Amino acid sequence: MDTESIRLSMTMLDEVLSGKPYVEVAASHGVTRSAVELRIKTLAKRLSRDVGIKGMDASGAVFLLRLRAHKEAVREAMSRFDPHAEPSSGEEFSLTMEELCDAIKKLRARSSHPERDMAMVAVLLGTGIGPLEVARLEIQDYLNPDGSVREKSVLRADVAKNRTERPLFFTSAFVRGVIDAYLGTRVDPMRMGTAYRGLNEGDRLFLTGSGRAFQIEVIRQGRGRRYLCRQIHDDYRKIFHRIGLPGLTATGVRRMVIRRLSERGADLDQIGESLGLSVSERKKLRALLTKPSVAVDELMQTLI
């Protein structure tokens, strides 16, 4: 983005902070609403990363309500921002679960397969499993024969990335709700009332947009092998772009789940077991959850 383009984005951001809706700003500049939204989110994230917005990080900068709630801090950041400077690299999302759930709901209007896309993101959030494991899940992993949900299920060894069985929980009402809505779009009316809600127990829980099982590649590495599902990673990339979080990845969501579990009192062993983390991954997890040190004077300043 060149300097003039950045200055135009700054003007648009200031207008939006003043309360103008995207549509009105778009009309005044002769562009589309989505173009304005993209410009503002891109600029706001850069402001947060490069100069800092008090009370907000780069991931929070994609939400209009947050920007308006911190409008003075955003404007102060714009006053310190140099449009000629090279943008910094790297971005770490730290959205709250509530914000991400709200973002997921945008798929109702922005996706050609809203029920499936909502369920695919929700299962990452509510279970902590990885994309490859999502692609391998079967109907029987989620449903009992009588059609009820297996709230305390098991991630079978042939589904788990590390080929080790571990607990799988569908205890979140939000997750169950969106998965049930998705499965409802796949039921054959002629089979309603039969086992597994009329679905085949061995069918994949999640299918591609064309209704097929995700293709999983086997990549040989020396004497070993690893598995990769490019299709599902590509689908997640598209889904996150649709909800206005183009920098987010399935791996990023998993890190958010880890932090959320830690905040709720889970220890390293519990998190490692729940997510199927290896010994080396658990060492990295310890570093991820280590809080940065804060100067004593700052601690005392906010003590009471």
For residue 112, CA distances in Å to 208, 238, 239 come to 12, 12, 11
Residue 18 has pLDDT above 90, yes or no: yes
Which of 80, 109, 131 is where one domain is finished?
Answer: 80
Residue 91 has pLDDT above 90, yes or no: no
The domain of 64 spans 3-80
Answer yes or no: is 145 within a domain.
yes
Answer yes or no: is 299 within a domain.
no
Statement to judge: residues 120 and 62 lie in one domain? no
Statement to judge: residues 65 and 107 lie in one domain? no
- The stretch 280-287 carries a mean pLDDT of 75
Residue 199 has pLDDT above 70, yes or no: yes
What phi and psi, each to the nearest 5 degrees, are found at residue 224?
Answer: -105, -170
Mean pLDDT of the chain: 84
Statement to judge: residues 44 and 191 lie in one domain? no
Contact 16, 25 (CB under 8 A): yes
- The stretch 60-88 carries a mean pLDDT of 81
Answer yes or no: is 304 within a domain.
no
Answer yes or no: is 296 within a domain.
no
Statement to judge: residues 201 and 269 lie in one domain? yes
* CA dihedral for 77, 80, 82, 83, sign (positive or negative): positive
- The stretch 223-245 carries a mean pLDDT of 87
Statement to judge: residues 201 and 260 lie in one domain? yes
Statement to judge: residues 121 and 265 lie in one domain? yes
Query: How much is the pLDDT for 23?
Result: 92
- Nearest C-alpha neighbor of 139 from the set 202, 188, 190: 202
Digit-coded pLDDT (tens) for 208-227 = 999 999 999 998 877 778 88
Give the CATH number, domain containing residue 209: 1.10.443.10
Contact 41, 63 (CB under 8 A): no
Band of the pLDDT at 90, cuts 50, 70, 90? very low
Q: Number of structural domains, the chain?
A: 2
- Nearest C-alpha neighbor of 117 from the set 250, 240, 245, 246: 240
Statement to judge: residues 153 and 276 lie in one domain? yes
Answer yes or no: is 125 within a domain.
yes
Answer yes or no: is 19 within a domain.
yes
Query: How much is the pLDDT for 53?
Result: 86
Query: How much is the pLDDT for 297?
Result: 56
C-alpha to C-alpha distance for 179 and 173, rounded to whole angstroms: 10
For residue 263, CA distances in Å to 211, 266, 268 come to 38, 7, 12
Statement to judge: residues 76 and 113 lie in one domain? no
Query: How much is the pLDDT for 61?
Result: 67
Give the global pTM: 0.66
- The stretch 136-142 carries a mean pLDDT of 98
Statement to judge: residues 132 and 280 lie in one domain? yes
Statement to judge: residues 64 and 102 lie in one domain? no
Statement to judge: residues 66 and 27 lie in one domain? yes
Answer yes or no: is 191 within a domain.
yes
C-alpha to C-alpha distance for 256 and 103, rounded to whole angstroms: 15
C-alpha to C-alpha distance for 93 and 248, rounded to whole angstroms: 7
Query: How much is the pLDDT for 205?
Result: 98
- The stretch 9-31 carries a mean pLDDT of 92
- The stretch 283-303 carries a mean pLDDT of 59
DSSP code, position 196: G
